[in-house]
A and B are shown apart, each in its own frame.
Chain A
Amino acid sequence: MNNTSTFQLDGTDVPFESGQTVMQAALAAGHYIPHLCYHPEFKPHGSCKLCTVKVGGRTAASCTMPAEAGLEIESDIEELNALRRTLVQMLFAEGNHFCPSCEKSGNCMLQALGYDLEVHTAGFRHMYPDRPLDASHPDILLDFNRCILCELCVRASSEVDGKNVFALAGRGITKHLIVNARSGLLNDTNIALTDKAMEVCPVGVILKKRVGFKQPIGERRYDKRPISAQALDDAPRAPSGAKHE
């Protein structure tokens, strides 16, 4: 085996191509690293920190870290999973994530990560922020209560749709998702149902109206399979036979 093109992830050799990040190489090789703001089709953001791994004893976001030969990386260890659990708990406590009435329930990455990491409670004091909905658009509902500030819709709208419909405003705890219109309302933007920004929300912020419960609760994406298995199916895989190891 040519050890210039592999790194070690939890003791297993992972092959990579030059230019790949640790996350890309790991997913392509069938190794799951938990993540929320990472999406295979977008430039990594490195903000949710769920994908934090230990490299030579130091922590790094695996979605932004370039793969390098010979790296020794730890990911699926209790120390990191405990930190990931805490991150998920803080996200739940910070917004209004009321799964029983959310139409994204079962298709939600935040919820699915909670399941996968065995998060039984948010633990912290819930903040119950007041975040009014934007129902101005005839076909699209924005429920800001669930926003985790991953910027996937921001990235999709600017990088793919070329529209810049969404942005984040404010800093720290006051940071929030805004809509790029003088009125601040979605109906006054040129967003379309076919936009990439409509597909990428990992939680239940950007919703198509009138289809919410078409797919019954209990028969949804992460009801059937844990996110750790589903994410590997979704990742671009290394073409078979293309590797010479």
Chain B
Amino acid sequence: MSEKKKLRVATTSLAGCFGCHMSFLDIDERLIPLLELVEFDRSPLTDIKHCGPCDIGLIEGGICNGENVHVLREFRKNCKILIAIGSCAITGGLPAQRNHLDLGDCLTEVYLTEAGLAHGHIPNDPELPLPLDKVHPLHEVVKIDYFIPGCPPSGDAIWKFLTDLIAGKTPELGHGLIEYD
């Protein structure tokens, strides 16, 4: 078993909720056969902070701030195959619901004028990544090779997609596994 080189996989969540990662864990005991085929690089499972050279990168969440752009570019540079997973990565999703609003107005409403706020101020710690004017899906920033839609995609959909891909087939979902909601 160990002679065959394992595929190296990195995962991260950008402007997402980690729901897609939770759904990934919903493949349940199939994680064990998966771990005979792959090993994890940067991922919440390993806590590695930077992505090294990988075969497959899985990214959930869209692009809402400068740090997201850096991480996405690091993944693109290091991953042979980059997969956008979930509605936010593919369409901008929930965070993109602010796209028709002015960013300054959003921050003012949330931190300054909303009822019940006392001495509120817009967070300005230099460590905080700066929000972008608009939220973008991943494919608007780098080339994305595959997309697994869903909010989140089911564990079964993720399993089908990854096993197709690892087997060298064009991944297909089909009715019941392809969902946008």
Contact surface of A with B, Cβ cutoff 8 Å: 92, 96-102, 105-106, 111, 114-116, 118, 120-123, 125-126, 128-131, 217, 225-226
Q: Does B81 contact A (CB under 8 A)?
A: no
Shortest C-beta distance, B88 to chain A (Å), equals 9
Given contacts A118-B173, A130-B100, A226-B175, whether A111 and B137 have CB atoms under 8 Å apart is no
B140–A125 CB distance below 8 A: yes
Q: Which residue of A lies closest to B84 (CB)?
A: A121
B149–A121 CB distance below 8 A: yes
Given contacts A99-B180, A111-B180, whether A126 and B137 have CB atoms under 8 Å apart is yes
Which residues of B, 146-173, contact A by the 8 Å Cβ criterion?
146-149, 151, 172-173
B175–A114 CB distance below 8 A: no
- Of the listed stretches B40-48, B53-61, B72-80, B89-97, chain A binds B89-97
B90–A129 CB distance below 8 A: no
B146–A100 CB distance below 8 A: no
A121 to B178, CA, bound (A): 11
Which residues of B, 113-139, contact A by the 8 Å Cβ criterion?
134, 136-137, 139
Q: Which residue of B lies closest to A120 (CB)?
A: B147
A100–B100 CB distance below 8 A: no
A106–B181 CB distance below 8 A: yes
Q: Which residue of A lies closest to B175 (CB)?
A: A226
B149–A120 CB distance below 8 A: yes
Shortest C-beta distance, A204 to chain B (Å), equals 11
For chain B, give the interface size range.
20 to 34
- Contacts A/B (CB < 8 Å), 11 sampled: A97-B91, A98-B93, A99-B180, A101-B97, A102-B181, A105-B180, A118-B172, A118-B174, A122-B91, A126-B96, A130-B100
A122 to B96, CA, bound (A): 15
A128–B149 CB distance below 8 A: no
Give 14 A-B pairs besides A115-B178, A120-B149, A121-B144 with Cβ atoms closer than 8 angstroms.
Answer: A92-B91, A98-B97, A105-B180, A106-B181, A111-B180, A115-B179, A118-B172, A120-B90, A120-B178, A121-B84, A121-B91, A121-B149, A126-B137, A128-B134
A226 to B92, CA, bound (A): 26
B87–A99 CB distance below 8 A: yes
Shortest C-beta distance, A215 to chain B (Å), equals 13
B90–A100 CB distance below 8 A: no
A106 to B149, CA, bound (A): 14
A101–B180 CB distance below 8 A: no
A99–B151 CB distance below 8 A: yes
Given contacts A106-B181, A126-B91, whether A120 and B148 have CB atoms under 8 Å apart is yes
A128–B172 CB distance below 8 A: no
A122 to B144, CA, bound (A): 12
B139–A123 CB distance below 8 A: yes
Q: Which residues of B contact A105 (CB under 8 A)?
A: 180-181
Out of A100, A111, A125, A225, name the residue touching B94 (CB < 8 Å).
A100
Q: Does B108 contact A (CB under 8 A)?
A: no
Shortest C-beta distance, B95 to chain A (Å), equals 11
B149–A100 CB distance below 8 A: no
Q: Which residues of A contact B84 (CB under 8 A)?
A: 121
A122 to B91, CA, bound (A): 7
A101 to B94, CA, bound (A): 8
A131 to B100, CA, bound (A): 9
Q: Which residues of B contact A100 (CB under 8 A)?
A: 87, 93-94, 151, 180-181
Q: Which residues of B contact A126 (CB under 8 A)?
A: 91-92, 96, 136-137, 140
Shortest C-beta distance, A77 to chain B (Å), equals 18
Q: Which residues of A contact B173 (CB under 8 A)?
A: 118, 120
A10 to B172, CA, bound (A): 24
